[in-house]
Chain A
Amino acid sequence: MAIVTAPTKACAVNPLKMSQPIGGAFAFMGLRGAMPLLHGSQGCTSFGLTLFVRHFKEAVPLQTTAMSEVATVLGGYENLEQAILNIYNRTKPKVIGICSTGVTETNGDDVDAYLKLIRNKHPPLAKLPMVYVSTPDFKGAFQDGWEKAVARIVEVLVEGPSANGLRDPLKVNVLPGCHLTPGDIDELRAIVEDFGLCPSFLPDLAGSLDGHIPDEYTPTTTGGIGVDEIASMGRAGWTIAIGAQMQRAAEVMQVKTGVPFRVFERLCGLCPSDEFMTFLSEISGRPIPLKYRRQRGQLADAMLDAHFHIGGRKVAIGAEPDLLFDLSGMLHDMGAQVTAVVTTTQSEVIERIKTNEVLIGDLEDLEGLAKTHHCDLLITHSHGRQAAARLKLPFYRTGFPMFDRLGAGHQLSVGYRGTRNLIFEIANLVIAHREENDRPTPDKWRTASRLPLCSGYRSSTGAAAGSIG
């Protein structure tokens, strides 16, 4: 059990956290033909947009109600109405996802009521699916926005059970958390389909932000799950929720449609993947395909090869709760010591992280902890690169945003194959870093301090490498 502490600082330095509204907007990007809309001043959207574009290197649809000072005083009804009409006329979306921001929440705009008025006033909009989520900037973080948005999408767009109540046992709903990349979703789709099941992913970022070249220019999302498919999710045999954040959406689904659910808090690592495969085998009534038996063997071998390099490492991780839980769990399974842990927001999983203390804080905190605990591997999003450079630590980038490397959307961590790749990547990073920075010299042992704390684990691996070489 980890002790969770909250910050006492007045000033966050180098924030790890991002705001709720863009987390909510992100969820809407996994819907086909969607236009996410932030109800706030235009900077709220512009910052989020830039962040998404830098991460995915894709055109990202995101609009704003462009609240001005006057509109903020008078209330945002007219701006919202105009924005919806404009979007409807210009981009012909299949669905509009609306997230509030700090401005409109402080103001107290009643968006649900506004939407009713707007629908009444403009008959063409009567049937346009619009989902509104309340996501104030001053509460929660990115992951909370995603969590709320998906739950709302289920609430609004999934239809209740039909009169005959027929279910299709081969249909499965998959609710992925925002810690999964489009690449992860593709991998999961392949796995689920290999069991003869037909998955519906909500949201499905794989179709929309996986970096493909569309034939036509589309101002809305280019792929993702369609509104019709969402409506029919109540007919599935099971709902699989991935990440603790998706529990709520799965519950909403069950209450509304009666579809049973199972939450997989982790999908990175051998045991979590075993559990997942077993479950799929059970619900599909099929044996685990040969392909995955082979992959399991490869993962096991990868773990054997990599444990020399990952085992014993003191790791500092900063990430959103679910990603943190998943990754730190895998590293712990590999024998690493998860030493310095910082996350962004409350979640029930963070108490169960295999470490002594979890801090809800910023990258300054992580840097400080990594330094005092002599960590020798830093894992966080791209903003952590400055800290890694100062600490001279090998740095593995994960999560959102990852703007200074390519392929963020295809980073893989789920299933046997994904875990194997991830383990290799981290181990190789550690090896490369050691080769670059820890070459033994004739004076190395002469001048090095004999105090055990000073260079900690790294010098002992240096010795091992030296004696082998």
Chain B
Amino acid sequence: MRSLATTVQNIFDEPGCAKNGSKSEAERKNGCTKQLQPGSAAGGCAFDGAKVALQPFTDVAHLVHGPIACEGNSWDNRGAASSGSNLWRTSFTTDLSETDIVFGGEKRLCKAIKEIIDKCDPPAIFVYQTCIPAMIGDDINAVCKAASQRFAKPVIPINSPGFVGSKNLGNKLAGEALLDYVIGTQEPDYTTPYDINLIGEYNLSGELWQVKPLLDELGIRILSCISGDGKYREVASAHRARAAMLVCSKSMINVARKMEQRYGIPFFEGAFYGIQDSSVSLRQLARLLVERGAPADLLGRTESVIAREEAWARAAIGPYKPRFEGKKALLITGGVKSWSIVAALQESGLELVGTSVKKSTGKDKERIKELMGQDAHMIEDMTPREMFKMLKDAKADIMLSGGKSQFVALKAAMPWLDINQERCHAYMGYVGMVKLVEEIDKSLSSPMWEQLRRPAPWDVLAKAMEQMQSPVAAIACDPALAETARRARKICVCNAVDLGTIEDAIYAHGLRSVAAVREHTNAAGGCCQRRIEGILVSEPSAMRQAAE
């Protein structure tokens, strides 16, 4: 049994991570999580990350060992979808009280596990460690081991107290727990040469199901999805897959790499966002499967599916292109999405004014440059205040980001679209891409924005009142003064001659040409020529009016 510290160290030393690979030995030991800044940190803790990564296993009971804050404040906050069991939506916590803190919470944890088994009898229980039981020394590994034996059921410790690090570290700790206790513990009923694993795919809003029909059509079977719509038995037998696709490389690269190492399952990083990415991912999957012994006709079948879907998606997006002309989008998101969505947006005719690269790797940035050109506006770190200003000054027409920054856009009365985990629409695959474009259009073209940007009536009235009290207003009220002011205005930028002089000359001498005006006044006629022409054209009728 490894200690938590070793596990964390182990995760930091990740050869599969491009960023990590470029570091020196010493740097690598320090790990990649930035030291959190007290007072200006945002984002979840390791426990949050572990829960996020594993909760989409639908038939497992997720038991949080800690005081009420950890689960009571956070349960029921993500929209992964399940095709079967709904047990994952039930929240279990030991809700530690003061006495538990004093006397230790292990007994309570053990009783809680028994209660869950008596009530729901799930295929497995995942027990999450949080800060406080970790501080007081509750050994959840030991409790889980004892409970597994006593109840003859997998009880898996997920060692992820919040204070060990960020959400991302938590994702990886969850992956380690799967590698240590779950993957490879059961055998699938049968295997096919078309079995794949999806790693780091969470089926939020059921978006995996936007892609699954295509895989089904090709005969590719998702043996195990870690963890969207996942079931315990599937992940336990995931080691029999022929190939794997790493969907969110940020969260579970350790799982993909170690499965390659242990079970020889080759993997690639891919995404199903945008037309190009979806095609590339399907192609890669087919190629890996064929390399590992699937019949070679899979490649051809894949190509024809890709051709059909691409043609369909392009045709569906077509009508939006003219509507998006000249519209600018600001993209604030991380990782793969920073470029895969760029490609998608460009496809639909939107202009990108900037994309954030805060969480992107060097490779990601290269891809962005490839797509947006060398002078791509990559935003390293943008404060909410800057974002607000950018939107308020209408430098972008729409912002796409995660839910945390939504109010920056909305409060600037600018369209905003959620492209992160809390979104309620699914944007995966070809269907999802079309949906994304549809949603952007809906948001951009809402007649609401114009109304919202209008100033309040009292602001307009206040402005009018201000003008009433200004010297300009006094002139406007007195016709004589107004006339004097009008006549005193210089007609041209050269400031050589005023309107009154010219009018008098025209009136007195009945002038009809610029040259004549020039003769009778000091007008130079250079830059003023056009202006004098204008006066001559309008003059007769004005004079007639004066005569009448």
- A interface list, Cβ under 8 A from B: 9-15, 17-19, 21-22, 37, 40-51, 53-54, 58-59, 63-69, 71-72, 79-80, 82-87, 90, 101-103, 106-107, 136-139, 141, 213-214, 217, 219, 382-383, 386, 403
Whether B132 contacts A138 by the Cβ 8 Å rule is: yes
Given A10-B109, A13-B92, A43-B47, output 5 extra A-B contacts at Cβ < 8 Å: A10-B114, A50-B74, A72-B131, A102-B69, A102-B101
Please name the residue on chain A nearest to B163 by beta carbon.
A41
The 3 closest A-B pairs by CB, nearest first: A43-B45, A86-B39, A83-B39
- The 8 Å CB contact of A82, one of B38, B91, B95, B111, is B38
Query: Which of the listed residues B47, B69, B89 has the most CB atoms from chain A within 10 Å of its own CB?
Result: B69
CB distance from A130 to the nearest CB of B (A): 13
Q: How far is the CA of A14 from the CA of B86 in the complex (A)?
A: 13
Is B85 part of the binding interface, using a Cβ–Cβ cutoff of 8 Å? no
Given contacts A42-B162, A46-B43, A138-B97, contact A66 B411 (CB under 8 A): no
**Is the beta-carbon distance between B36 and A66 smaller than 8 angstroms?**
yes
Known: A11-B115, A12-B95, A72-B163. A42 touches B68 (CB 8 A): no
Instruction: Check B72 against A11 for contact (C-beta < 8 Å).
Output: no
Expressed in whole angstroms, the minimum distance between the Cβ of B403 and any Cβ of chain A is 7
B96 at the interface (CB under 8 A from A): yes
Closest residue of B by beta carbon distance from A72? B163
> B374 to nearest A CB, angstroms?
32
Q: How many angstroms between the C-alpha atoms of A58 and B110 in the bound complex? A: 40
List the count of A-B residue pairs having beta carbons below 8 Å apart: 207
Given that A10-B94, A137-B132 are known contacts, is A217 also in contact with B45, CB under 8 Å in the complex? no
In angstroms, how far is the closest chain B Cβ from the Cβ of A297?
A: 34
Q: Which residues of A contact B388 (CB under 8 A)?
A: 217
For A59, what are the chain B residues with a Cβ–Cβ distance below 8 Å?
A: 384, 407-408, 411
Complex: A42 Cα to B35 Cα, angstroms: 12
Tell me if B98 and A139 are in contact (CB < 8 A): yes
- Known A-B contacts A11-B111, A15-B93, A59-B411; the reply to A47 vs B73 at CB < 8 A is yes
Could you tell me the distance between the alpha carbons of A463 and B157 in the complex, rounded to whole angstroms?
54
The answer to whether B90 and A87 touch across the interface, beta carbons within 8 angstroms, is no
Task: Provide a sorted-by-A list of 15 A–B residue pairs whose CB atoms are within 8 angstroms.
Answer: A10-B108, A10-B111, A10-B115, A12-B91, A22-B69, A37-B39, A42-B162, A44-B69, A47-B44, A65-B39, A66-B41, A68-B36, A103-B163, A136-B67, A217-B408
A386 touches B162 (CB 8 A): no
Contact of B91 among A13, A103, A107, A214 (CB under 8 A): A13
Q: Chain A contacts of B36 at CB under 8 A?
A: 42, 66, 68
Q: Does B63 contact A (CB under 8 A)?
A: yes
Given contacts A44-B162, A72-B163, A106-B135, contact A15 B40 (CB under 8 A): no
Chain B hits for A15, CB < 8 A:
68, 71-72, 75, 91, 93, 95
Binding site for A on B (CB under 8 A): 35-48, 63, 66-77, 89-98, 100-101, 108-116, 119, 131-132, 135-136, 161-167, 384-385, 388-389, 403-404, 407-408, 411, 413, 452
Interface centre among B47, B66, B68, B112 (most CB of A within 10 A): B68
Alpha-carbon gap, A190 to B404, bound state (A): 33
Contact of B44 (CB < 8 Å), options: A40, A42, A51, A107: A42
The answer to whether A383 and B38 touch across the interface, beta carbons within 8 angstroms, is no
Q: Is the CB of B48 within 8 A of A47?
A: yes
Given contacts A11-B94, A21-B69, whether A66 and B75 have CB atoms under 8 Å apart is no
A43 in contact with B89 (CB, 8 Å): no
Partner of A217, one of B75, B164, B411: B411
Are the CB atoms of A106 and B101 closer together than 8 Å? yes
- Which of B47, B67, B76, B119 is in CB contact (< 8 Å) with A19? B67
Pair A386/B89 contact, Cβ less than 8 Å: yes
Check if B163 sits within 8 Å of A46, measured CB to CB.
no
On chain A, the residues within 8 Å of B35 by CB distance are: 68
Tell me, rounded to whole Å, the shortest Cβ–Cβ distance linking B174 to chain A. Answer: 14
Whole-angstrom distance between the Cβ of B308 and the nearest chain A Cβ: 38
Given contacts A11-B93, A17-B68, A139-B97, is CB(A102)–CB(B63) below 8 Å? no
Bound: A48/B72 CA distance, A: 10
Given contacts A22-B69, A72-B163, contact A12 B92 (CB under 8 A): yes
B135 touches A72 (CB 8 A): yes
The distance in angstroms between the C-alpha atoms of A21 and B132, with both chains bound, is: 15
Residues in B with CB closer than 8 Å to A9 are: 112, 115
- A58 & B407 in contact (Cβ 8 Å cutoff): yes
Q: Let me know if A14 and B47 touch, CB within 8 A.
A: no
Contact of B70 among A43, A82, A84 (CB under 8 A): A43
A65 CA to B39 CA in the complex, in Å? Answer: 6
Shortest C-beta distance, B409 to chain A (Å), equals 11
Using A15-B91, A138-B98 as known contacts, say yes or no to A41 and B162 having CB atoms under 8 A apart: yes
- What is the CA–CA distance of A337 and B71 in the complex, to the nearest angstrom? 32
Asked whether, in the complex, the Cβ of A383 is within 8 Å of the Cβ of B76, the reply is: yes
Across the interface, A103 reaches (CB within 8 A) one of B98, B111, B131, B384, namely B131
- Tell me which of A10, A12, A64, A382 has the highest count of chain B C-beta atoms within 10 A of its own C-beta: A10
Cross-chain contact B93 with A79 (CB below 8 angstroms): no
Which of B69, B115, B404 is A137 in contact with, Cβ under 8 Å? B69
CB distance from B413 to the nearest CB of A (A): 7
Q: Which of B38, B97, B162, B166 contacts A86, CB < 8 Å?
A: B38
Residue picked from B90, B91, B109, B131, most chain A C-beta under 10 Å: B131
A68 B163 Cβ-Cβ under 8 A: yes
Q: Is B112 in contact with A42, judged by CB distance below 8 angstroms? A: no
Please name all residues of chain A whose beta carbon is closer than 8 Å to the beta carbon of B47 when the two chains form the complex: 43
Hey, which chain B residues are within 8 Å of A72, CB to CB? 131, 135, 163
Residue contact A53 to B403, C-beta cutoff 8 Å: yes
Contacts of A21 in B (CB 8 A): 69
A249 and B389 alpha carbons, distance in the complex (Å):
41
Q: How far is the CA of A382 from the CA of B75 in the complex (A)?
A: 11
B89 cross-chain contacts in A, Cβ below 8 A: 386
In the complex, what distance in Å separates the CA atom of A17 from the CA atom of B91?
A: 12
CA distance A213 to B391 in the complex (A): 14
Contact A83 to B71, CB < 8 A, known contacts A11-B111, A138-B100, A217-B411: no
Closest partner residue, chain B, to A22 (CB atom): B73
Bound-state CA distance A468–B7 (Å) is 70
B403 partner residues in chain A, CB cutoff 8 A: 53
For A22, A49, A72, A101, the residue with the greatest tally of chain B CB atoms inside 10 Å of its CB is A72
Are the CB atoms of A101 and B384 closer together than 8 Å?
A: no
Which of A19, A90, A219 is B68 in contact with, Cβ under 8 Å? A19
* CB–CB B39/A18 < 8 A: no
The answer to whether B91 touches A79, judged by C-beta atoms less than 8 angstroms apart, is no
- In the complex, what residues of A have CB within 8 A of residue B164's CB? 68-69
**Is B39's CB under 8 angstroms from A63's CB?**
yes
Residues of A within 8 A of B40 (CB): 63, 86-87, 90
Chain A residues within 8 Å of B92, by CB:
11-13
Smallest Cβ-Cβ distance to B49: which chain A residue = A43
In whole angstroms, how far apart are the Cα atoms of A338 and B197 in the complex?
51
Cβ B163 vs Cβ A69 within 8 A: yes
Contacts A11-B115, A47-B73 known; A217 to B384 CB distance under 8 Å?
Answer: yes
Shortest Cβ gap from A53 to chain B (Å): 7
Chain B residues, Cβ within 8 Å of A214: 411
Q: Which residue of A lies closest to B47 (CB)?
A: A43
B74 and A47 contacting across the interface, CB-CB below 8 Å:
yes
Output the nearest chain A residue to B389 by Cβ-Cβ distance: A217
When distances are taken between beta carbons in the complex, the residues of chain A under 8 Å from B162 are: 41-44, 103
- B115 CB contacts on chain A under 8 angstroms: 9-11
Known: A44-B162, A47-B74. A64 touches B41 (CB 8 A): yes
A17 CB, min distance to chain B CBs, angstroms: 5
User: Given the complex, which residues of A lie within 8 Å of B136, measured CB to CB?
Assistant: 106
Instruction: Check if A54 sits within 8 Å of B77, measured CB to CB.
Output: yes
Q: How far is the CA of A64 from the CA of B39 in the complex (A)?
A: 5
**Which residues of A sit under 8 angstroms from B41, Cβ to Cβ?**
42, 45, 63-64, 66
Q: Please indicate the chain A residues that have their CB under 8 angstroms from the CB of B91 in the complex.
A: 12-15
The smallest beta-carbon distance between B33 and chain A, in angstroms, is 10
Q: Which residue of A lies closest to B76 (CB)?
A: A383
CA distance A21 to B68 in the complex (A): 11
Contacts of A17 in B (CB 8 A): 68, 72, 95
